[in-house]
Amino acid sequence: MNKLEQLKAMSVVVADTGDIEAIRKYQPQDCTTNPSLILKAAQLTGYAQLLSDTQREVDQAGGDIDTLIDRLTVRIGGELTRIVPGYVSTEVDARLSFDTDKMIAKARHLIELYEQDGISRDRILIKVAATWEGIQAARALKEDGIRCNLTLIFSLEQAIACAQAGVYLISPFVGRITDWYKKSQGVEGFAVDQDPGIQSVRTIYRHFKAHGYDTVVMGASFRSAAQVEALAGCDRLTVSPQLLAELAADEGKLERVLTPEAGSETEAPLTEADFRWALAANPMANDKLAEGIRQFHEDTDKLRKLLTRQIA
């Protein structure tokens, strides 16, 4: 078997893309999107007819540009549910990352749109940033039967807060952590076992298993196939088409790195004060969380401008 096939035997492989052809080619279990990927998808020829049809429907209904973005996001997500057998992650507008009530309202609205299109909430993960407010939104949405994917995880404390809130899945980022430390330390790179991004996800995974947390750990934001391989055995791994191609072309042996050894250690609940202090005390996590929210917001604005031009 090639390395991608070996990886699928150890971890659930998730496509980090909205590109239909790439998803069909590599046959992941799930796929995940964010504003950056929706922006790219909206410019693919494969979505041209869907975009045109969606614009026409929203225009006839008298909707505005934000209505169009929500509807387009759900329509692209709907197309993806017809290709992958598992979950499709759909992200809440990053502008809402510090408003629990508005995140809850937006998540419910997106799920309503999916259900209007005949797609069950059981197929969708609502993706929100792992701010304190985002974690509380996910806690509330769980009561509605809405599962969440908490993204932009850069610290163990963020991960613990998610697990203690009963969040279904978290996306701890690898490459963005690596990028920060490369710049901070003025180095070209790290040996894979010393890579701070890899170490972060391994720590979270082992902590969750030791404490019996049910929350799924999905490594994300990879810069190389070697980083993906270094987390073989993690619950889920979301990987770009380029890296999926590299893994599929490699016939070498892939060793399992992470094993789900269950434990029953207990720890005290993480308070809001604990959470905020941990972020303030961790320059990397604080910087990258804020930067990630800004970038997703900027890409949503780019999508808004792109659609506005097309409508005009």
| Residues annotated as part of the active site | 127
In angstroms, the CA 74 to CA 118 distance is 11
Burial (CB < 10 A; 0-12, 13-18, 19+), residue 146, is: buried
Burial (CB < 10 A; 0-12, 13-18, 19+), residue 269, is: exposed
Tokens 């225009």 found at: 59
Amino acid at 132: W
SS3 262: coil
In angstroms, the CA 175 to CA 224 distance is 8
Is there a contact between 247 and 225 (Cβ–Cβ < 8 Å)?
A: yes
Other beta carbons less than 10 A from residue 233's beta carbon: 17
In angstroms, the CA 196 to CA 178 distance is 6
Tokens 């993480």 found at: 270
In angstroms, the CA 84 to CA 209 distance is 27
H-run or E-run covering 14: strand 12-15
Sign of CA dihedral 243, 50, 76, 12: negative
Q: Which of 168, 161, 152, 137 is nearest to 284 (CA)?
A: 152
Is there a contact between 54 and 76 (Cβ–Cβ < 8 Å)?
A: no
H-run or E-run covering 20: helix 20-26
Sign of CA dihedral 265, 269, 274, 279: positive
